[in-house]
Amino acid sequence: MNGILVIDKPKGMTSQQVVGRVKKILGVKKVGHTGTLDPDVDGVLPLCIGQATRLAEYLLDQSKAYAAELTLGYSTDTQDASGEIVERVAHVSVTEAEIRAAFDKFCGEIEQVPPAFSALKINGRRAYDLARQGERVALPPRRVTIYELAITELELDCELPRVRFRVECSKGTYVRTLCHDIGQTLGIPAHMSRLTRTRSGPFTLQMAHSLDVIGQAAAEGRIADYLLPPSVAVADFPCYVVTDRQARRVFNGLEMSFSAAGQERETGERIRLESASGQLLAIYRVVDSDGQTIRTKPEKVFNA
């Protein structure tokens, strides 16, 4: 069994627990997720099944989109609603104009310090393990990109004002840190109170299915109806269709050359090779292009 299964992850489960549940439902050993979602976060969690697990790294590199809620009035050690309160104000006074001005400052490429309670490693240990033990966690800042940041709803006439928004961002972006930092810009402690991932790479919430639906489909022998082909994970890679004779070269891990007529390919660019029937055979990388011929070498070859 090979392909991509898009799960609508429920709140209250870790991403690894979802993987374990799907392994049991499908009766397979090779299942991997493509980007951790915290237990309190729901939404799109693509799972790679079988040989498709080798495509997970490409999905990790792709952008993500979320529907989020920021609450003003107090901040927490985890920067979300699950943490311990570390700062609180008795009264919040803020205008819509001030909030919109603060949001505008976080569009584009920004510098972000990952939260102490994160899965990042420090000298081989998870940051959240160190933080839970009371150790000081100092993670270096990194550059991330916010492609879109749009306020969808404001709830300001209450004790703890809330801002609901959607965000599209690069890999490695922490939305809870974004909420915390927006609060810092406003001079008001803040935390992320809700988060739903609405898209991961090419996979959207509309494509996602609950674990109950997947379980029922598997029990009825209809799981193929929900399994997407591996090629969907790398649909943004240029596609080259090869003949059966060329496919034998591919499966032997040999270099492949293609006509460059009407196509410009950069050295290092990835392409995908498919059979005439649409089966993903391999991922190749361009090593040279002289304007007439594109020469490529294999990066990942999938079994016939």
* CATH number of the domain enclosing 115: 3.30.2350.10
Q: Where does a domain end: 212, 231, 250?
A: 231
Same domain assignment for residues 85 and 140? yes
Q: pLDDT (tens digit, 9 = 90+) per residue, 64-107?
A: 999 999 999 999 999 999 889 999 999 999 999 999 999 999 99
Same domain assignment for residues 119 and 246? no
Q: Residue 195: what pLDDT?
A: 97
Same domain assignment for residues 45 and 104? no
Query: What's the number of domains the chain is made of?
Result: 3
Mean pLDDT of 199-216: 95
Same domain assignment for residues 127 and 35? no
Same domain assignment for residues 138 and 81? yes
Question: Does residue 32 surpass a pLDDT of 80?
Answer: yes
Known active-site residue 38? yes
Q: pLDDT (tens digit, 9 = 90+) per residue, 85-96?
A: 999 999 999 999
Same domain assignment for residues 189 and 83? yes
The kind and range of the H/E element at 287 are: strand 280-289
Same domain assignment for residues 82 and 56? no
Same domain assignment for residues 164 and 79? yes
Same domain assignment for residues 34 and 113? no
Domain that holds residue 287: 237-301
Q: Do the beta carbons of residue 246 and residue 304 sit within 8 Å?
A: no
Same domain assignment for residues 141 and 163? yes
Same domain assignment for residues 57 and 154? no
Residue-wise burial string across 167-201, b where 16 or more C-beta atoms lie within 10 A, e elsewhere: bbbeebbbbbbbbbbbbebbebbbbbbbbbbbbbb
Out of 38, 42, 80, 181, the active site residue is: 38
Predicted structure pTM score:
0.88
